[in-house]
Structure 1
């Protein structure tokens, strides 16, 4: 096979798509096994105080928990591939309804946090790389380390006390009750629905509630982008083509912006899929800190209720979302940097 054929974009995309299948299978298997080896009876834990022994046994039978594990495993896999993620044990509703009602809040928070991380992290990384070993570089690196290492709930509490209170910003929920009741749920994503409504007051209200949670979660991965951009700016500014551009009289700042910056973004694009997984994990703590009605907060509630029917469905959605985002990132990375196709 020639180099051009082996490095074609369609073949690379096909290879990545085929790799997604075993990845998803492994993830689904791990989710199934981990939840089944947990001690205790999930139905009794979720409903033991509300149903008698006979009703609990009927519920186990209806959920297939009395079947052999291999049968449960097969039913689980076949249900997922039919996009049926089961029902919750505690309130007996389809997991897809839970995802529909709460997933939009988590999606809004995750995307807004990505914007914060990119808007803050990439420029600071460029400045740190451009002015290496300066006071600004040291301060930016220290900021990146602290933002990544600090517990996310601690950052949330600090923002609530030192930012929300002086500025009068909301610290709980994703909108005022009047906004939630008046805006029609067209997409079940409140941030989109308020823009579709055209109500400026509702839009401002949702953005005010989103500001602090997005800033808290965005700072979690901001340090990763600072470090990646800084290191790659330093590497690319030492490349031969950069020295040649400077020899032609082009200023170092322009070379950094026009040439080094694009190459420095390649590793950032590569790790976006990994950071998406980190954001989903951080969303659990962020939503609990700000009482944000997303999947992270629902997941905590179901874990406390030991409702592993709901936990299994939500974690499966998270895992599949991470795999698909990673696939998309790989494709974008191949478009930006053709070298990854070989």
Structure 2
């Protein structure tokens, strides 16, 4: 098989595998939402409606039909990207994603930038000075950052940096005056403010972004630190590194050009997987910092047992994770041809 055919076949296989992955996740969400007792109408509106009105609402939404019928209707709607209207606030999933998706995108991108900017250099230092005091401190920091719950880290950050030191705002996405006066162009507040040339507003959003982005970034930073540390250590023991040293190449250049560059390939591979970790952590981080994103809305719908809201948002998250995972796999196959076989 030719190189081009091999790559083409690998891409087709990865795209085909998206279908069972999404199906398994959709089925899991559907079953988990219906295993718990009760229903969304009773949970959200039971105290406001009579039993007859509750039964009427249930019939209108199809919750009185057999479970298997609801399941196939749910899959058919998912195939057509029609996720319905939420029960608690009567909002379509599409409009919900448009209005709140920009906030989640801003937070996850900022958290990923924080994780890369600090995680990669710390991993390089730990790999370069293995089994030393700096390496020990960095490893402990990576383990704590990965293991600590985001909501707990967020509360500590609010207490120390917002309340005690008053360095950063404790919650929200921006000051009320900035949010009230901002024109909507892309539904991404910081981009909208930049388009309007409101740089004071952009700085205000950045200040509000520091604590939640750092809190969420710590979750992924630990993964990058450990991954870079291990691969830099392995690269420094490779034959090509020893050959470079024998040629008189300076140690700093050996580490940065040879060891570190090769250690970045696994980082690209796992970066797609970290999107799922970021989206999962964003749910608790957004709620902790009152960040108006999809994660915060998802938690509200879970509390109210809003089947349609939960199913729609988790389906959207699943599609994002799967698509990014496939893109990362394709990029990795382009970088390293061995992946294709």
Judge same fold: TM > 0.5, yes or no.
yes
* Post-superposition offset of 1:219: 0.7
- Selected match of 2:122 from 116, 124, 140: 124
Q: Deviations over 1:119-152 (max 9, x none)?
A: 1100000011111122211111111111111222
* Post-superposition offset of 1:3: 6.1
Q: Deviations over 1:216-242 (max 9, x none)?
A: 100111111000000000111111111
**Residue aligning to 1:4:** 3
C-alpha distance in structure 1 between counterparts of 2:182 and 2:84, whole Å = 30
What secondary structure sits across from 1:18 in the alignment?
Answer: helix
**Residue aligning to 1:330:** 329
**Residue aligning to 2:223:** 224
C-alpha distance in structure 2 between counterparts of 1:32 and 1:248, whole Å = 62
* Post-superposition offset of 1:5: 5.5
* Post-superposition offset of 1:177: 1.2
Equivalent residues of 1:121, 1:226 under 8 A apart: yes
**Residue aligning to 1:246:** 245
**Length, aligned pairs only:** 340
155-164 vs 225-234, greater mean Cα deviation: 155-164
C-alpha distance in structure 2 between counterparts of 1:155 and 1:340, whole Å = 37
**Residue aligning to 2:17:** 19
What secondary structure sits across from 1:258 in the alignment?
Answer: helix
What secondary structure sits across from 2:249 in the alignment?
Answer: coil
What secondary structure sits across from 1:138 in the alignment?
Answer: helix
> 5+ residue gaps in structure 1?
none
* Post-superposition offset of 1:336: 2.1
C-alpha distance in structure 2 between counterparts of 1:298 and 1:52, whole Å = 27
Please tell me whether residue 321 in structure 1 is matched to residue 311 in structure 2: no
Please tell me whether residue 164 in structure 1 is matched to residue 162 in structure 2: yes
Please tell me whether residue 201 in structure 1 is matched to residue 194 in structure 2: no
What are the within-5 Å matches in structure 2 for residues 1-342 of structure 1?
2=1, 4=3, 8-165=6-163, 166-342=165-341
161-170 vs 121-130, greater mean Cα deviation: 161-170
Q: Deviations over 1:64-88 (max 9, x none)?
A: 1122222211211111122111211
C-alpha distance in structure 2 between counterparts of 1:304 and 1:222, whole Å = 30
> 5+ residue gaps in structure 2?
none
Q: Deviations over 1:192-247 (max 9, x none)?
A: 21111111111111111111100110011111100000000011111111111111
TM-score, structure 1 as length reference: 0.95
What secondary structure sits across from 2:49 in the alignment?
Answer: coil
* Post-superposition offset of 1:326: 0.9
293-302 vs 90-99, greater mean Cα deviation: 90-99
Equivalent residues of 2:33, 2:305 under 8 A apart: no
